[in-house]
Amino acid sequence: MDISFEHVSYTYQPGSPFEYRALHDVSFSIPSGSFVAIIGHTGSGKSTLLQHLNGLLVPTSGTVTIGDYRLKADEKNKQLRKLREKVGVVFQYPEHQLFEETVAKDIAFGPENFGVDAKEIDKRTKEAIRATKLPEELLERSPFDLSGGQMRRVAISGVLAMNPEVLVLDEPTAGLDPSGQREIMDMFYDLHHEKQLTTVLVTHSMEDALAYADHIIILNEGEVYMEGPPLDIFQHQDKLEKVQLDVPEVIEFVTKAKHKLGIELDYTGQSVAELAKDLAQKVRGGRDHE
Amino acid sequence: MNSSMVIGQYVPGDSVVHRIDPRAKIAVIFFFVIIVFFANSVMSYGLLTLFAVASAASSKVPLPFIMKGLKPVWFLIIFTFLLHLFVTRQGEVLFSLFGWDIYEEGVIQGAVLSLRFFLLILVTSLLTLTTTPIEITDAIEELLGPLKKVRFPVHELALMMSISLRFIPTLMQETEKISKAQASRGVDFRTGSFKDRIQAIVPLLVPLFVSAFKRAEELAMAMEARGYQGGEGRTKLRELKLGKRDFILFAVFLLLVVGLFVTRN
Amino acid sequence: MSHIEFRNVSFRYQEDSPWVLKNVSFTIGSDEWVAIIGHNGSGKSTIAKLMNGLLFPQEGEILVDGETVKPDTIWNIRKRVGMVFQNPDNQFVGTTVKDDVAFGMENHGVPREVMIERIQTSLEAVKMQDYEKHEPHRLSGGQKQRVAIASVLAVSPQYIILDEATAMLDPKGRKQIMRTIRDVQEEQNLALITITHDLQEVTEANRVLVMNEGEVWMEGGPRDIFSKKDQLKEIGLDTPFVSQLAEQLGHAGIKLSREPLHHEELLEELWTFRSNM
């Protein structure tokens, strides 16, 4: 589903002493099937933006369009349920939303609310649990007996079982160990391609944005600060530093190599091994210029 | 968002009333509540009202906040007045209303009781309007201090209260977070029958309880790691000290008590 | 006698459950920075809890400055071994920053005048002195963790354990904490034990303990540890980017004289390599 924001602003508690403008005149569009990373510090408006994607919030002014659904201030939004079925949101620490007696029931909770029939739910549950690489034996266990990592996968399965077309991920790897983080991100990446989803990843991690996203939107103080393909964005280290954001380590290294050794490495997403080969060649070749 | 979270009715300020020792406030309010029942003349009621209104004025709490505190009891005050108006049958008949005789004594009784009610609510809500919950907790711990001798867990009670206060905003944020997560999974908290809505609460309550228990467990461990082992041998950072201001209050209050008994019939 | 010593320590949570730690022995000096790494479930956090008597081993002995950790010594030991946990919210006891820093001191019966002074100095040490009266819900995760460090410092311990204290923070908060830890380690003569997944944190430690399935799998300086990539890979642990790049450079025929720990070291190595050609 195509997603577009047109001059969206959002203000919390307007007209009160606590009035707080979280988004200001935000416009962008995300074509169907793309993997977009939204980056920004705490307080940049990320989480407010995220809540517009499935109608938890409706803009104070401006228009949000998701597929055929339109969210606009002062318009009755009757199809919110339909929208929420199509847009699956994996919140930060999603294991906190588990509540059923068994894993199977918890996974079925979303689809049940949307009126999916029992047979179909059964099928989807099995599919979801396979996608998150959990053993089927867990289905009849209580989610509260599982390890933290397993609980997170159950919660993710619960969102996947809704069969969403858009997947919104809010820091889905927070608090996991490095190998767990990689597994989860790889899993989402595979799903994205397999099911041709539109994926919106809200993250602090520049490394993840570089590795998985094909488009980056950087938010700062409620406004779109930068936007573009990862490699273009990370060209502008100075501009990122101004809002206290880093570039991925590999790009930082490439820049340093240029300044300190005068070696120009062209980073286009190659592996560490390829980069090392290129670097080795240039270090050796460097002798001829001296 | 976060900054808007105000616990209880406290209205931040720096007035004399705000700065009075919370123990002094509680003590004075306690005795005020008692002496209200001794007033029986116009003058004595006048004195009490003067004291209450002057206190409210010097607290510099904006009138709307004070009125908000009285809102839930307006009904009771008016009801009390009407009840006496119609039920009391003493003194002269003043006039007739819808064929019902209104007696002089009824008007007086109704007015007096409503005024008492009003004074009590005004003064007690002034406490919560000008004192932070944690100050009230400290004051209660101090005032109940003597009960430690009979092994009443005063310190534990106060600590429990202060930790609850500390975690109210955290749990409120959590509630919002979980209800949004469940709404994203298709729960509708707003519409549907009563039964539906009760059922919609379960996916909210269970995770909240689970998380509250987990927090409690971790907090207990953190407290233990920081050397907590009960009230014994503990020192305290927050200290309550009676100052000049508090003694002036006591003196004024004493004058009020004397005045009250002089003006009584 | 100033060190923490684990002597053949074994631990399990219940009698019929598997051992979490198996015959673990090591020592940590009173001015060292030791990083403990390993997978979730490798026994890292259990080590932390054993160090200040939140748990007791079934076998072996733990000594802090020569004193055995047991139920009647823990109050004394907890003054010397401070601990910062993972979740910033679930260790903040006070209703304000000032009250939270005071909590530990109140427990240890520190006189009020001393408390007031130490609140000031320990909040300055973590650069939170302007937040004395702030309530916890108005602070970021990183700020709460800095307050937690200040609370521990206020009791003036000899050892500070940070049990995945940066795991729940955003990069900005993580950086603040790392800077704080570095400052504290430099200015105050104390030992730091950081339990972490963050490889950047590991490179800054003096010594690294690698835990795997309840045992000490490897022990050494960060340079030694990261040079043994095959062994780390065997238990599925990552190495830092520079370390990986150095390894690949080796495959491409550039042998470096030592294992680089950060960009600058690697670039220097390459500089030397080039000038020696």
Answer yes or no: is pLDDT of C204 > 60.
yes
**Strands (DSSP E) along chain B, which ranges?**
93-97, 100-103
> Which chains have 3 or more CB–CB distances shorter than 8 Å to chain B?
A, C
Q: Is A178 on the interface with C (CB under 8 A)?
A: yes
Res. B98: pLDDT tops 80: no
Task: Tell whether the model's pLDDT for residue C206 goes beyond 90.
Answer: yes
| Single-letter amino acid, residue A103 | V
Measure Cα distances from A208 to A37, A171, A193 in Å. Answer: 9, 10, 16
Instruction: Return the SS3 of B97.
Output: strand
Are C152 and C83 in contact by the 8 Å Cβ rule? The answer is yes
Give the per-residue pLDDT at C214. 93
Identify from B3, B185, B187, B206 which residue to disrupt to test chain A contact, counting A C-beta atoms within 10 A and taking the largest count.
B185
Establish if A119 touches chain C: CB-CB under 8 angstroms. Answer: no
CB–CB of B187 and A51 under 8 A?
no
Cβ neighbours of residue C166 under 8 Å, at least 6 residues apart?
A: C145, C173, C174, C177, C178, C196, C198, C201
Mean pLDDT of A85-102: 94
Residue C131 lies in a domain: yes
Top residue of B5, B237, B238 to mutate, by most chain C CBs within 10 Å, is B237
pLDDT in tens, C249-275: 999 888 888 899 989 999 998 988 888
Weakest-pLDDT range from B61-75, B180-194, C79-93 = B61-75
Q: Which of A175, A260, A281 sits opposite C168 (nearest CB)?
A: A175
Q: Flag whether pLDDT at C115 surpasses 80.
A: yes
Phi, psi of A20 (to 5 degrees): -145, 120
Residue A257 belongs to what domain range? Answer: 248-290
Q: Give the minimum alpha-carbon distance from C90 to chain B in angstroms, rounded to a whole number.
A: 5
The residue in chain B having the minimum alpha-carbon distance to the alpha carbon of residue C92 is: B219
| Contact: A287, C271; criterion CB under 8 Å | no
Q: How many CB atoms lie within 10 A of CB B129?
A: 23
- CA–CA separation, C108 vs C106, rounded Å? 5
Interface contact C13, partner A, CB < 8 A: no
Chain C residue numbers with beta carbons less than 8 Å from the beta carbon of B236 are: 106, 112
Which pLDDT value is given to residue A286?
Answer: 55
Q: Which residues of C87-123 are buried (b: 16+ CB within 10 A; e: fewer)?
A: bbbbbbbbbbbbbbbbbbbbbbebeeeebeebbeebb
Which residue type does B203 have?
Answer: P
Q: Which of B4, B203, B207 has its CB closest to that of A18? A: B4
CA distance A136 to A128: 10
pLDDT mean over C221-246: 90
Please state, as a whole number, how many other Cβ atoms lie within 10 Å of the Cβ of residue C159: 27
Answer for the pair A171, A92: CB distance below 8 angstroms, yes or no.
yes
Sheet hosting strand A166-170, strand order edge to edge: A87-90, A166-170, A198-203, A35-39, A215-220, A223-228
Q: What's residue C117's pLDDT? A: 95
Of A76-80, A167-171, A250-254, minimum mean pLDDT range: A76-80
d(CA A269, CA A210): 8
- Tell me what pLDDT residue B4 has: 39
Q: Do C85 and B218 touch (CB under 8 A)?
A: yes
Tell me the pLDDT of chain A averaged across its residues: 91
d(CA C116, CA C120): 7
Counting every residue, how long is chain A?
A: 290
Residue C122 predicted with pLDDT over 70: yes
Kindly tell me the sign of the dihedral angle through the C-alpha atoms of C53, C54, C56, C60.
negative
C93 in contact with chain A, both atoms CB, cutoff 8 A: no
Map out the domains of chain B as residue ranges: 7-139+241-263, 146-225
Please give the pLDDT value at position B3. 38
Q: Give the best residue of C17, C164, C263, C272 to mutate against chain A (max A CB count within 10 A).
A: C263
Give me chain B's average pLDDT, please. 86
Residue C271 lies in a domain: no
pLDDT of residue A289: 46
* pLDDT tens per residue, range C4-24: 999 999 999 998 899 999 999
Mutate to test the interface with B, among C85, C103, C114 (most CBs of B within 10 A): C103
Percent of chain C with pLDDT over 90: 69
Cα separation values, C91 from C86, C112, C150, Å = 9, 22, 12
**For the ranges A104-108, B29-33, B76-80, which has the lowest average pLDDT?**
B76-80
Question: What per-residue confidence (pLDDT) applies to C103?
Answer: 94
Residues 210-229 of B with CB under 8 A from C: 214-215, 218-219, 221-229
B166/B132 Cα distance (integer angstroms): 12
Residue of C252, C264, C271 lying closest to A277 (CB–CB): C252
Q: CB-CB: which of A42, A177, A253 is closest to C263?
A: A253
With beta carbons less than 8 A apart as the criterion, state whether B230 and B155 touch.
yes
Q: What is the number of domains present in chain A?
A: 1
Q: How many CB atoms are located within 10 Å of the residue A286 CB?
A: 18
Domain count for chain C, please give it. Answer: 1
Q: What's the complex ipTM?
A: 0.90
pLDDT for position B7 = 52
Structural domain of residue C45, as residue ranges?
Answer: 3-221
Q: Answer for the pair A24, A12: CB distance below 8 angstroms, yes or no.
A: no
pLDDT in tens, A183-216: 999 999 999 999 999 999 999 999 999 999 999 9
Residues 6+ apart with CB under 8 A from A27: A4, A5, A6, A7, A8, A62, A224
Percent of chain A with pLDDT over 70: 98
First and final C-alpha spacing in chain A: 56
Instruction: Report pLDDT for C272.
Output: 87
- Residue located via tokens 């094909």: A214
Q: Which of A16, A84, A96 sits opposite B186 (nearest CB)?
A: A84
Q: Kindly state the percentage of chain A with pLDDT values over 90.
A: 77
Length of chain B: 265
- For C67, other C-beta atoms within 10 Å of its C-beta total 13
- Is the model's pLDDT at A285 over the cut of 80? no
Mean pLDDT of B164-177: 90
Torsion (CA) B135, B140, B145, B151 in degrees, nearest 10: -130
Q: Within 10 Å of residue C126's Cβ, how many Cβ atoms?
A: 26
- The Cβ of residue C138 has, within 10 Å, a number of other Cβ atoms equal to 15
Q: E strands within B22-104?
A: 93-97, 100-103
Count H helices and E strands in chain A, helices first: 11, 10
pLDDT mean over C100-112: 94
* Nearest residue to B226 via CA among C189, C86, C100: C100
For residue A287, the chain C residue with the least C-alpha distance is: C274
| Amino acid identity for residue C221 in this structure | G
Q: Would you say residue C263 lies in a domain? A: no
Tell me the mean pLDDT in the region C124-139.
92
DSSP letters of B2-17?
Answer: GGG---TT-----SHH
Pairing of strands B93-97, A20-30: unpaired
**pLDDT, tens digit, 9 for 90 and up, residues B106-159:** 888 888 888 988 899 889 888 988 998 888 889 998 899 898 888 888 888 889
E-assigned strand segments in B17-162: 93-97, 100-103
**Domain annotation covers residue A188:** no
What average pLDDT does this structure show over C177-191? 88
CATH code of the domain containing C80: 3.40.50.300
Kindly tell me if the per-residue pLDDT of A163 is higher than 50.
yes
Q: What is the pLDDT of residues C148-170, one digit of tens each?
A: 999 999 999 999 999 999 988 88
pLDDT of residue A251: 92
Which has more pLDDT, C64 or B241?
C64
> Residue B8's pLDDT is what?
61
Residue in B closest to A158 by C-alpha: B185
Cα C158 from Cα A200, distance rounded (Å): 46
Residue C46 located in a structural domain: yes
Closest CB to C39: pick one of A177, A257, A280.
A177
Is residue C83 over pLDDT 60?
A: yes
How is residue A109 written in tokens? 């909770």
For A3, the token pair is 């997603």
